[in-house]
Amino acid sequence: MEKTVNQSTIPHDHRVSKMVRAFDTRMLDLSASVARASPADVSISSSTTSDHHHHHIKLPKLTVPTFNGDILKWAVFWERFSSIIHDNPKLDNHEKLTYLRQAITDPDVSQLLSTTTIAPGQYDELVDTLQKRYDKKRIIHQHHVMALISANL
């Protein structure tokens, strides 16, 4: 006759010990699996594929930076926008222009961008216009020097 054991009659320490042993066994199995795997067997990729087996990690979504027209913030904006959108070979110029329209919050520039239709080379011309308008290293340098001088007063 098989005897059934009520969980409440097993001492608490015994149940905890049993769970710890089961956990240790699983950890040893996992450690053995990891030890058998070579670095070439495991790679991490967020969006690319190749001939190797890839484990995909869900990365947080990147937010497109915004630019409010402050010339002192242009360099940081453009660095981030370029890395996410402008230099992205998977996006065509129409998509890049759409992202650029969303990123610019300066009313004057937003108005210009919203009335622009996309034609071959148009996105590049708009980027060039923005670079000429905001990428003024001399003005930015002067502003920083003036801020340093006024801070010492």
Instruction: Write out the DSSP string of 64-89.
Output: PP-B-S-GGGHHHHHHHHIIIIIT-T
Q: Is residue 2 part of a domain?
A: no
Q: Is residue 113 part of a domain?
A: yes
84 in the same domain as 47: no
Mean pLDDT of 17-25: 60
pLDDT of residue 110: 78
102 in the same domain as 40: no
The β-bridge partners of 44 are 55
pLDDT of residue 90: 94
99 in the same domain as 38: no
Mean pLDDT of 40-55: 45
Q: How far apart are CA 153 and CA 150, in angstroms?
A: 5
Residue 15 pLDDT > 80: no
Task: Print the domain residue range for 23.
Answer: 7-59
Q: Look up residue 127 and give its two tokens.
A: 């980027």
Q: Is residue 80 part of a domain?
A: yes
Band of the pLDDT at 38, cuts 50, 70, 90? very low
Q: How far apart are CA 103 and CA 128, in angstroms?
A: 16
